[in-house]
Structures are given as C-alpha cells and as structure tokens.
Amino acid sequence: MTAVITDEKIPNNVNLAGDRRLQRALEEWQPHFLSWWQDMGPVGFQAKDVYLRTAVSVEADGWAHFDYVKMPDYRWGIFLEPKQAGRVHGFGDNQGQPVWDEVPGEFRNMLRRLVVTQGDTEPASVEQQRHLGATAPSLYDLRNLFQVNVEEGRHLWAMVYLLHTYFGRDGREEAEELLKRRSGDSDKPRILGAFNEPTPHWLSFFMFTMFTDRDGKYQLAALAESGFDPLARTCRFMLTEEAHHMFVGETGVQRVVKRACELMKQAPNGDVRAQGGIDLPTIQKYLNLHFTLSLDLFGGEVSSNAADAFAAGLKGRYKEDRYDEHKLIGTHYTMDVLEDGKAVTKDIAMRNALNEVLRNEYIKDCQRGVDRWNKTIKDEGVDFELTLPSHKFHRQIGMWSTVCATPAGELIDRAEFEAKKHAWLPSAADETYIKSLMHAVTEPGKMASWVAPPAKGINGLPGEFQYVRLGA
C-alpha cells in the first residue's frame, strides 16, 4: 500500500492504476490544475530551477526528495498514511465502532463541506502569495515561498482525490469549482475570509505562514481524528508538510525581530526605520492583524455545526488521545461569552463549544511562538515584549465581531476603537513604508536590510547556496 509509483502521471501510494475510472478522472483534472497553476500560481520564475522538496513516500525517514525542479514539473502526488488495521472511531456517537472506508449516506453533505472548505484554502493561499517572488529578501526566502506554494498545490490534490474517489459526480463538480474560485474576487471569492485578504509583502507572508498556516495545522489535526478513514489518513500526511510552512513563518518573523533589535542598537536614537528596518511596534501591529484574521477561521464560539461534526465522528479535537472522555455528553466548557453587550464567563455544553476548544489550543501554540520571539528580543538586550491580542479584539466572525475591544480585551465603543485602531493595526502609512522596503535580493547568501539571515540553510546546505537559479 505504501509503495509509491513515481513514473505514473500522478505519483501515488493509493494504487491509482488499480482503479482505471478514478485514474482517468484525475488525469482529466490534472491539465485543469496545471492551467490554474500557470494562471494563478507564482508570477514569473516558472522556468527557473528551484531547489525543492518533493514528497515521494510516507515513510518517516525518507518521505522527501530534494533537488532542483522547475515548478510546473513538480510531481504533485497523492499520499495517504497507511491504513491501521482495526482502527475504530475515537470519539463521538460511534466511539468504538469500526471506522468508515466509504462515506456514510447521512453524513455525506457535512463531510463534503468539510473537505471542500479545507480544499479551498490550499489554492487560495497560492493565489494570495503569487506576486511575492518579485520582492524576495533572499534566494533562501524565495525558495521557501515556492516550497510552500507547491505543497499547497499538493494539498489541493489531496482533497481533490477524496472528492473524486468518494463523492461521485458532486465531488467532480466541487473539484472543478476549487479551480474556479479566486482569492479576493468579488464574484467568485474563496470560501473563508482570511483567504480573500491580500498578502502584499513579505512581512504579511511571514505572519500568514506563522498564524494562518497554523490554523491549517489545527483544522487538519482535528480532521486527522476523523472516523472517515481516508480523510484521517490524508490529513495525517499533510501535517508532515505543514510543519515546514509554520517554520517559514515563525523563523521569518523571528529574523525580522532580530534585525529590528540589531538596528535599534546601532542607531544613535534607536530609529529602526531610518536604517531600513521594521521596528518592533510595527511588527506588533501586523501580528495583531494576522493573528485575529486567523482566529476567525475557527468559526463561531458556540456552534451546532461543530457539535454535529463531532457527534458524527467526522471532526474531533486536537489530539483526542490526550483526553479520557470522548463522547462529551453532559460535560461543559467554561468560556467567555457576550451577553447584553458584556463579556461574561459561562459553562457551555462541550459539543457546542468545540470551535472554542480548538481555537484555545491554537492560541496556546501561537503563544509558544511569540515566547520564542521575545526570547530573541531579550537575547539581543532590548527591552520590549510582543504579545498576542485578546480573542475579543478585531474579530469579523463570531460573537465578538458585534462589539469593539482593545488588544487587552476590554470592550469599548466603536468611536474609541476607530480613534485608536492605527495604534493597534497597520495604517496606510505603515503599509506604504513596508512596501517601500520590498526589493528583491538575488545574490546568493545576501539578505535585504530588514531581515536577519537564517540560522541555517535548507537540508543542511550553506546559506550562500543558490536555492533558485535565476540565470537564463
């Protein structure tokens, strides 16, 4: 089952050749994917050799192969973790029953919605990031951008495989629609709000891969628990790739923070901007923006959809194994809710609170990253602390979207929020300044003024390695 056939048109470990109909359907979808990639994938660089990692199996010790490849020649494949014999539902109403290898009729729509919503985020982020190649701060970063982009393309393949294999004609139609929606398009937008926001420069790219790809980690982890076994197995392998995307984000921001500290110490008056850097208060504003956009992706705080997906055994909690109890009937979650315009603490039926439970796991994970950034600041001898804003601040989805709050979580009226928001969120002037810094640096080993070099290269290679061959 895990053997991978790499000389097929579509590399896979699902014995695609054994299912002619499916193979033909996916081979028909492939040119549509490639033309989407040409139209909406990275602008420029398509004919350049990029030092990329390609998934070639699901074996923990040798799943990735590194080599130069031109992006359109990337081997987008289908990889599922091996089936575990005797696996049973780990949670929900069917806990202890054998997992499903086919879609149960009564949950078909719910399951398709989960797969389509996840699938839609994958090409969306490629579209959001398509212009960034022109202003990469180094060849190392340029390569990382393209690595993230091709892997998001593979994640789209992963979801399309599920749609084609398990959802018949509707699945095939949904797979086509995934290539038709466009990030930020007013007529045919992507499904989720954060995936229609622009990623106009590299600070927002690093924040996006830190915070929004991390939302992806938590959504995939919850789906990796699924009692629909093919979805669980697909998501488990996607998580392996996702780790690198969050590494790009966390270390990217860390390098911007480090550079800000170095410049603060160099300048007689500590003026980071005067020396072409991004100052820490500005970094805080972008952190506030991208963290809160990502919080929205977890959905409403009290949600019957979340309860239904858990009851059905389709979407679990983050690492179900950590918990003793997996049915969640008669249990409660203590959380902040909005009542008559005030924040109050209440016990909510656990199944209805599962979006909030997952969001809180995510927040803890984000905090660990912010702690590491603060350690960098401290190690540089600078007195400043970055903080995650409250979950009540700057929300567009859920109960907190109806009120205004400070980053500390204090509810305020809209007039006060409007008067202060540019102290908390990037202003047009901040955005203009950040964009003014964005110029491509193409000499191997060299970095833009606003970012420190990485601690080490990719795959053990030196920093001055030519990660992208830009020569004709």
Task: Tell me which residues touch Fe ion (CB under 5 A).
Answer: 122, 152, 155, 213, 242, 245
How far apart CA 468 and CA 45 sit, in angstroms, is 9
- Determine how many CB atoms are found less than 10 A away from the CB of residue 123: 28
Report, in Å, the least distance between residue 259 CB and Fe ion.
25
Which residue lies nearer to Fe ion by CB, 120 or 213?
213
Distance of CA 12 to the CA centre of its chain: 23
- Three-point CA angle 131, 134, 139, nearest 5°: 120
421, 195, 40, 162: CA torsion to nearest 10: 170
Report, in Å, the least distance between residue 76 CB and Fe ion.
13
Which residue lies nearer to Fe ion by CB, 122 or 430?
122
Report, in Å, the least distance between residue 445 CB and Fe ion.
27
Which residue lies nearer to Fe ion by CB, 14 or 126?
126
Which residue lies nearer to Fe ion by CB, 112 or 155?
155
Give the C-alpha distances (Å, rounded to integers) separating 23 from 12, 252, 363: 11, 39, 41
Report, in Å, the least distance between residue 182 CB and Fe ion.
18
Distance of CA 68 to the CA centre of its chain: 25
Which residue lies nearer to Fe ion by CB, 198 or 270?
198
How far apart CA 369 and CA 363 sit, in angstroms, is 10
Which residue lies nearer to Fe ion by CB, 217 or 351?
217
How far apart CA 162 and CA 237 sit, in angstroms, is 14
Structure-block tokens of residue 469: 């061959």
- Determine how many CB atoms are found less than 10 A away from the CB of residue 71: 20
Report, in Å, the least distance between residue 330 CB and Fe ion.
36
Report, in Å, the least distance between residue 119 CB and Fe ion.
10
Query: Sheet of 64-70: strands edge to edge?
Result: 64-70, 49-55, 468-469
Report, in Å, the least distance between residue 49 CB and Fe ion.
23
Structure-block tokens of residue 70: 């031109």
Report, in Å, the least distance between residue 156 CB and Fe ion.
8
Say which DSSP state 38 is in. Answer: H
Q: Pairing between strand 411-412 and 404-405?
A: antiparallel
Which residue lies nearer to Fe ion by CB, 122 or 229?
122
Which residue lies nearer to Fe ion by CB, 149 or 165?
149
